[in-house]
Structure formats: C-alpha cells, structure tokens
Amino acid sequence: MKKQAVNPYLPSWEYIPDGEPHVFGGRVYIYGSHDKFNGVSFCLNDYVGWSAPVDDLSDWRYEGVTWRKKQAPGLNIGFMNSMFASDCCRGPDGRYYLYYFIGFKSVISVAVCDTPAGKFEFLGRVKYADGKVIGSKKEPLQFDPAIFVDDDGRVYLYTGFGPVKAPPFMLGKKPTVKGAMCFELEPDMTTVKSEGFTYIGVPAEAGAKGTPYEGHGFFEAASMRKFNGKYYFVYSSILGHELCYAVSDNPMTGFKYGGTLVSNGDIGVNGHTNPKDAGDFTGNTHGGLVEANGKYYVFYHRQTNRHQFSRQACAEEIKMNPDGGFEQAERTSCGLNGGPLRGEGKYEARIACVLKAKQGNRFYMFGKKNNEPYFTQTGADREDNPDQYIANFGDGCTAGFKYFDLQNPKNISVTVKGAAKGKLSVTDNEYGGNTLAEIEINPSKQYFGFSAPLIAASGKTALFFKFAGAGTFDFKEFELR
C-alpha cells in the first residue's frame, strides 16, 4: 500500500523552516534554514537537504548535510551565528547555486555544486563590479535572499527586510518603506549587473498606506516563481503568520498585490480572523510556490515547543484560478497527500492542523505560558527516534485533523498519559458540529489507550478532539478501526 503524506511532511525530529521548493530533474528539492529543537535562537543547525519525486510527494529522501557553518568564511558567533533562509537555482552553466545569509551582516554569500543535493562549496559574496559587497554601501539591510533564473538565462536576486521600526540587530541599517529589492546578476552568479538595485513595487507596511498592500506590507521572506508567463513574488507580510503574493509581467518592477496564499494559523479562512481565534498558535512563516506533476503547492512552516525557534516544514495543494490568481490554501493534516487520509489505522497527534487553548491562541514571541497545549518531543535535538506529541492538553483544548475518507469505522481510541480525568469529545467541526464519539479519560502514568464507539460517519470528514475535565495529558496518537 502506498505511503501517505501528512503535515508536517518530514520526520517529526526534523525542524526545517523557510522551505523553498524547486523542481530539478524530476524531484522536488527543499532549501531552507535548519532550526534546533528547543533552540534559543533561529536557524542554529547546518543546512540539510530533502527531496521527493514529483509524482510521489510522500516519499521524502534525506540528502544529508548540504552546507556547514564552518565552511562559511567570516562567520560570527552567538546570535549572529544563525544561518538564515537560503535559496537555490540552476545557473545558465548547469551548476546549482545556493544563496545564503548569516547573522545580520547584510552580506549575501553564494556556494556552488554540480548537483542539487550538494555538497556545496563556497564561491563568493554577491558584489558590485568594483568588488564591494552588496550591503557595504548605503543600501537597506539585505535579508532572506531569493534567486531566480528566467527563461532567457537572466539572473535576478531578491532581498529585503521591512519592519515598521528598526530592531537593534539591524546594526544601524534603516528599514525600507519601499520594500522588496531586486538585483540583476551577471552570468558569474555573484556580480551585480548595474550599480544599484530596483524596488519591485511591493512596499513595506510603512509605505503601504492607501495601497492594496495596506495591512499586508512586505516584511521578509522574498521568493520568486514564474507560471504561464507571469512573475509571482511571494513574501511574508508584516503580520508574520501569512505568505502573500504579487504578480507582474516584468521580473523587476510593476508588481500588483494578489492576496494571501496561506496562514500558519488559517487566519482568513475557516472563521479565523486574528491570532487569538486562529486555528493554531502563530508565528513567522516563510516558503514558496511550486508546480509539480500538474498541480500547484505552497510550502510554509509551523511553530512548535511554544516559541519560534523550532519550526517545521508544511505544505498544501493550492488552487490557481483561471485569471492566474491563487485562492488562500486551508491548512490540513493531509497536505501533499492528494486527498484525504485513509479512514482507518493509527495517526500521530503531531499532524494536527488545528491546536487551540481554551483562552484562545496567540502569536508566539519569546515567552512561554503554562496553560497552553503545544507540539514537542522528549529529549534533545536529534536525527532519529521520532516521538513528537501534543503536550499539556487540558480543559477546553482542541486538536483538529483534516481530512479523512471515513468508511464507517466502528471505534476510535486515543493514546495519552497524564493526570487528567474527564471526557474527550470527537466532532466533525471545529465549532461544534456532529458528535461522533465521547471518550472517557482517566489518569495514567504511562501511555494508555482509551476508546469509544464511533457514530456512523463516512466520506471526507474532519476530526476534532476537545477535552472537558480536570488536569492535563500528553496526546500521542489516535486510531480508527
């Protein structure tokens, strides 16, 4: 039986945010950064690669470490040690070029390899013809490089960072109100073709008032794609939790606001309007679009462990309308599966696409709260022994899973442990809906299975688990049979 795809689509011990998908040689490759589980800052691990065949996005293969910090000349230490979001392209010469950014030096570097999976070797800094690196003059802060090679072989680099106020780590650089920038590069892939950059027409929030971008101004996470002759610029907006897009007939200018592609709290769909009533705890996001095997997908990341430093790669199929615009994707547990999950068997609680606290959700910053459910794992950061689960599931908490192709299963069970006592109601709607089962939960020091009959249900169905009672438990998995 073919393996199913779930969200997050990589093993539960893998924390890859900022995932940029690219199709090379019949495979989708993911380039991003690499968080450390329970890290104290962003992107603390070396870059690693994953890929899957375009016709089976459940079959992800680990490609190994693609680029190590120790290979990067001029590396700082401490917080500036973070290797932020990367992007990759196939150059006009057929080789693969990885663009990356370390700390907040405002310097973008390039590594190169003969294959898309690495191992990459340092090539140089992106620089002007006079040899000065970009970021060393009076440009705004460079950040989150995106690289794009057009059909005619011309090469474009997109960067930018647009907070409303400059945080201390910007080291004296001013935020740009004009937003995202573009440099055209020479065929050597490191030299800027002219002495400056072009603002592409996607303003930061400070310059978005009175425009269609207002409320969704450019913040970070530049990404560029071309579909059907149109250029699609993807970015993370000032709201943080959403990826938006803009469209143009020109890769360097004239971009018009298109809308939201995806929110890691589903804000904008399913009745969610703000972080408090979001479908999940929100935080920053970064990703891109890809066309694979005749379908479009949007890649993004979710938050875990009650902070923004242990983020995981997710993806959804997304609909392009006849006019070339995209409809906002709904977050699901079945993301790349091509349809609902089978309505039988065991499923890990970690694939919940809805996770809500009784008092409502929030945008993760840097403080942890004890009255919230959250995704976590035991032990330290590692590359094996997956055991992710939902912790601290208490009264009024909800975990939702979308979607399943139910064929009238007769029973549902959950595997939990903790000091909780109460009732776990299973419904087919986040806001109530039909009650499908009621499972009695009792205290258990070890993982234990509690079950109940499942009321007849068939077809594409969501499952929402809501607890009422005292104490909290860890939610490991559930089974349909």
Q: Could you give the residue numbers annotated as active site?
A: 18, 220
Peptide bond preceding 403 in cis form (omega within 30 of 0): yes
Between CA 355 and CA 375 the distance in angstroms is 9
- Residue 184 phi, psi (nearest 5): -90, 135
Q: Residue with structure tokens 């330290």?
A: 380
Peptide bond preceding 373 in cis form (omega within 30 of 0): no
Instruction: Decide: residue 479, CB within 10 A, 0-12 exposed, 13-18 middle, 19+ buried.
Output: middle
Which residues lie across from 50 on neighbouring strands? 30, 62
The helices-and-strands tally (H runs, E runs) of the chain is 0, 31
Residue type, 379: G
Cα 209 off chain centre by = 27
Give the C-alpha distances (Å, rounded to integers) separating 144 from 100, 114, 229, 376.
7, 23, 25, 27
Residue type, 368: K
DSSP 321-365: PTTS-BPPPPP-SSTTSSSPEESSEEEEGGG-SEEE-TT---B--
Q: Tell me the HSE value of 69 on the side-chain side, using a 13 A CA sphere.
A: 17
Between CA 301 and CA 279 the distance in angstroms is 14
Tokens representing 40 are 């104290």
